Structure 1
Amino acid sequence: MAFEIIMPKAGIDMTEGQIVKWLKKEGDQVKEGEIILEIMTDKTSMEIEAEASGILLKIVHKDDETVPVTTVIGYIGDENESIDTLMPEEFEDTGAEESEEDKRMIRLEDNYNVAVIGGGPAGYVAAIRAAQLGAKVAIVEKGVFGGTCLNVGCIPSKAYLKNVEIVEHIKHAASRGIIIENPEIKFDMEKVVEFKNGVVKKLTTGVEALLKSHGVDIYRGFGKINKNKDVVIDDKQIIKADKIILAGGSKVFMIDIPGIKNDKVLTSDDLLGLKEVPETMVVLGGGVIGAEMGLSFAGLGSKVIIVEMMDHIVSMFDDDITDELTRLIKKKGIEIVTSAKVTEVVDKGDKLEIKIEGRESVFADKALLAIGRVPDLESLGEVKFETERGRIKVDKYMETSVKGIYAPGDINGIKMLAHVAFRMGEVAAENAVKGNHRSVKLLSAPSVVYTLPEVAMVGLTEAQAREKYGDDIRIGRFNFSANGRALASSEAEGFVKVIADNRYGEVLGVHIIGPTAAELITQASLIMEMEITVDEVVNTIYGHPTYSEAIFEAFADVLDEAVHIPKKKKK
């Protein structure tokens, strides 16, 4: 069957386009993805790729012709296919019977400019941004708006971590002259969960209210894409749209080891609903989720053991940071077992036995599976996308291998962080509405672990910088133990580390472990995004006393100009 070549609708304001030049002539062989013609709109010129392989059977509209959008301008088909079958009258109603699937579908005939699948950080931001640009937008969500982050991830976990922070302040109150008599601390887990749920509900309902305020039409149900590139909801409704933004998010990664499917083995999704604190808990995985949740439940009273396959926890961070975090976590009574390969989980009735290759087993009441998350590809439906290692591939515009379908956020697996998903969703929306013009830049995207103290980084680690630049780098460091605000607040653990290019003073990476690291790192992100040099940072006046002075001092140390660091001995 012949494939139609149509005049694309590159933006919501585009009504027609001019054919500048056909690069192929009738009878030529074309390949999918090959550029076959050039067109001009009122805003830009575009190259059009073939969406199928075959023979260019018919050119309906020739060079210099101006035609409305979505008009058929040519056909690609098989070599033996008759051109006569391509005449418009052949596409009129033939009396053919509609399929049973088509009959039972409710079609929403009023087409949308953009349809978004998924209401997580990438999806809801994309929907709102597209609406702000004037598009008519629909969004499909199978659960609660906000995705993993708002419902079972970064937001609820921070409610738990704040509880732990409060407890730590109470425990150290006496050293500050605050005497609390009979300081027995107990947790009412019913209220802990209730408070967490209240925070989540306020934010998720807020997201829905934002969507409605921008005129986004909301559809409830599971959305997927059919072979016609329409969005199908629960196999009952069809949404037609000019462009689709696929923001399916991620799901918990399940490792395939014997005994892992056990009621006592919880995911991060399950853990935040527990009404009782387990006496002992083993955390399988020492990444961001494992470190945060392990610390949370240690603060709530559990004896926590973190088991990590790598030779150190939070392995994506700089080695100096991970060494310091490991020391501070152990100081809080958490046991850390690294270079440990789990081979089996055995239910012993009242306990779980976690078998580790070449090591003694670990026993606990509950286990948390915190290996990480993987892209959720369930919404792909009948369309074949190019994928790689279980993630959907996108270009710098967030567009997939299928033209007109964009995939921002966790589903593309590039950098699975909520704040990165926000930006990807925003970029995908702008490109879907206005045509591909804006790319995603991740240089200034920070990574954060909300442990106590917090850990944050942006840019390269020292090992990565040395691999790329050799010894032509300089390191600056400043400890919070010399920061007045940190000392006055009893939060003097940790440091700021800056990595810079030795020749030009370009900032290559900033790493922080210490108080408010998650807030301070944004300053470093801005420095890198604006390409501010080390010298320019040092010429800035920082407020005193502030935690941020530690950043200033670390940058000054790169130049050997830090005033509040003892003079270094010459080598």
Structure 2
Amino acid sequence: MAEKTSDLVVIGSGPGGYVAAIRASQLGLKTIIVERDALGGVCLNWGCIPTKALLRTAEVYSNMKHAADFGLKAEGIGFDLDAVVKRSRAVSGRMEKGVTGLMKKNKIEVVKGTARLEKGPKTESGAPVVKVKTDNGEETIKAKHVILATGARARTIPAAGLEPDGKFIWTAKEAMVPDVMPKKLLVIGSGAIGIEFASFYNALGAETTVVEMVDRILPAEDAEISKFAEKQFKKQGMKILTSATVEKLDKGSETVKATIKTKDGKTETVEADRVILAIGITGNTENLGLETLGVKIDRGHVTVNEWLETGVKGLYAIGDLVGAPWLAHKASHEGVLCVEKIAGVKGLHPMNVTHIPGCTYSNPQVASVGLTEAKAKEQGYKVKVGRFPFVGNGKAIALGEPEGMVKTVFDEKTGELLGAHMIGAEVTELIQGFGLARSMEGTEEDLMHAIFPHPTLSEMMHEATLDAYGRVVHV
């Protein structure tokens, strides 16, 4: 049985884990990363990256079908599903190789295997000992600090039949490598994951139904944006059922029948070739030895404090494992914050979750940062709200993308930008501007005095700010 020592062990190599390992190496910590599967975790291999490759295909396909709008001719348009999936997998493979290269460049040792924690010796660090089951036997790693970055997986409800079977009922993983193109698709859940897959399959021709248990889709977004999104998706042919609950799924020989309780209390049956479960995620906390260490787990996620400490000496947790928002960039930020705290970097401050942008890469895209209008009012702010439509922007018209809106929410008293919410083309690229304004405690004056280039979509950010103060120019 091999034994290793290091300053830090990171368990899990997703965007939280591998970024934490790199930052630790930069700070002079001898670092080992443990991964049981492919480097890059779910994000690079089965989440963020491959889904964007699929959605790009859907976007190009949709544009091809509207070629005449741009003065172009395109005939016999179609797609090869196997080739679509192959491209997506190739993109993921390239990213995994990139992470492998980063580990070598930063002199981080990678141990491939399944990790489990045991109580550490009564030393100065007192951190748990990491036991790793590898193909060549068990390795023991003793480190001063251990970071858990094991991520999360799709939540299921077996009692209602909401459990993947690999054929008819899919999680996001199966939905990324479909064996067939479903003619009828049922998506349960309308958060970012559900809506992105609904958008992809709907664009490729699947008759798509989305079921959401609350009263609107994309429930984490501003209500006005959710309403706009629902209208656009319905125009694209999606059927959307809100305030509805899937009570059970019955599998037949070729299809699945869903019994759905609708908002009027009636029961409706929807038949589909395939079903995608997008009802949330739960942390990968099992088989790590957390119970014996006394780590607190709340509703499937590890409990940590503002510095990502678990309460067990020398043990930390980051990313999806510790709960919402389940975002790769949040995990990366936590990884850096955690490592810098361990290394004693000065001037740190805990992460402010209202500074984390959220993005949904559907068609149209949705992006936001900070407080919604409703949340701002709930917290006692008197607000000034600005709006600007895509139809008033020259670049949006030139792109053939006139459907969309930028919304800003300011504190009337101080001018602080409380939140920004967008729907339309490329808003996932624009939101970082408002994110930067939030993190720098920007006000309406800062945004008004900024000079935005023309013609760009970003001009709408300026106009939405001006609109909040009665100064909008182009509508």
Bin of the TM-score, shorter chain as denominator length: over 0.9
Q: Is 1:306 aligned to residue 215 of structure 2?
A: no
Quote how far apart the aligned CAs of 1:213 are: 1.0
The one-letter code matched in structure 1 to 2:365 is E
Q: Give the superposed CA RMSD.
A: 1.4
Quote how far apart the aligned CAs of 1:334 are: 0.8
Q: Is 1:268 aligned to residue 162 of structure 2?
A: no
Quote how far apart the aligned CAs of 1:240 are: 0.4
Q: Check whether the contact 1:497–1:510 (CA below 8 A) recurs between aligned residues.
A: yes
Quote how far apart the aligned CAs of 1:384 are: 1.6
The partner residue of 1:356 within 260, 265, 269 is: 260
Q: Is 1:450 aligned to residue 342 of structure 2?
A: no
How many Å separate the matches in 2 of 1:422 and 1:388?
A: 22
Residue in 1 that maps onto 2:16 = 122
Q: Secondary structure at the match of 2:353?
A: coil
Residue in 2 that maps onto 1:213 = 105
How many Å separate the matches in 1 of 2:96 and 2:175?
A: 20
Pairing 1:148-227 to 2, within 5 Å after superposition: 148-180=42-74, 183-227=75-119
Q: Check whether the contact 1:287–1:315 (CA below 8 A) recurs between aligned residues.
A: yes
Unmatched tracts of structure 2, length 5 or more? 121-127
Residue in 2 that maps onto 1:506 = 416
Residue in 1 that maps onto 2:285 = 377
The partner residue of 2:250 within 346, 362, 373 is: 346
Residue in 1 that maps onto 2:436 = 526
How many Å separate the matches in 2 of 1:278 and 1:185?
A: 19
Pairing 1:357-436 to 2, within 5 Å after superposition: 357=261, 358-378=266-286, 380-381=288-289, 382-434=292-344
The partner residue of 1:232 within 120, 128, 131 is: 131
How many Å separate the matches in 2 of 1:260 and 1:467?
A: 34
Pairing 1:95-114 to 2, within 5 Å after superposition: 106-108=1-3, 110-114=4-8
How many Å separate the matches in 2 of 1:259 and 1:536?
A: 52
Q: Check whether the contact 2:19–2:336 (CA below 8 A) recurs between aligned residues.
A: yes
How many Å separate the matches in 2 of 1:441 and 1:132?
A: 24
How many Å separate the matches in 2 of 1:269 and 1:370?
A: 11
Residue in 1 that maps onto 2:123 = none
Query: Structure 1 residue runs of 4+, over 4 Å off?
Result: none
* Structure with a larger share of its residues in helix: 2
How many Å separate the matches in 2 of 1:397 and 1:436?
A: 14
Quote how far apart the aligned CAs of 1:153 are: 0.9
Quote how far apart the aligned CAs of 1:518 are: 0.3
The one-letter code matched in structure 2 to 1:453 is P
Q: Is 1:489 aligned to residue 362 of structure 2?
A: no
The one-letter code matched in structure 1 to 2:102 is L
How many Å separate the matches in 2 of 1:489 and 1:361?
A: 40
Q: Check whether the contact 1:113–1:137 (CA below 8 A) recurs between aligned residues.
A: yes
Q: Secondary structure at the match of 2:378?
A: helix
The partner residue of 2:145 within 243, 247, 257 is: 243
Quote how far apart the aligned CAs of 1:287 are: 1.1
Q: Check whether the contact 2:354–2:371 (CA below 8 A) recurs between aligned residues.
A: no
How many Å separate the matches in 2 of 1:351 and 1:281?
A: 10
Q: Check whether the contact 1:249–1:376 (CA below 8 A) recurs between aligned residues.
A: yes
Residue in 2 that maps onto 1:88 = none
Max radius of gyration: which structure?
1
Q: Check whether the contact 2:307–2:341 (CA below 8 A) recurs between aligned residues.
A: yes
How many Å separate the matches in 1 of 2:111 and 2:162?
A: 36
How many Å separate the matches in 2 of 1:458 and 1:440?
A: 14
Q: Check whether the contact 1:117–1:224 (CA below 8 A) recurs between aligned residues.
A: no
How many Å separate the matches in 2 of 1:366 and 1:170?
A: 26
Quote how far apart the aligned CAs of 1:483 are: 0.1
Quote how far apart the aligned CAs of 1:444 are: 1.6
Unmatched tracts of structure 1, length 5 or more? 1-105, 566-571
How many Å separate the matches in 2 of 1:308 and 1:184?
A: 36
The one-letter code matched in structure 1 to 2:188 is L
Q: Secondary structure at the match of 2:247?
A: strand
Inter-CA distance 516–349: structure 2 relative to 1 (3 Å threshold): same
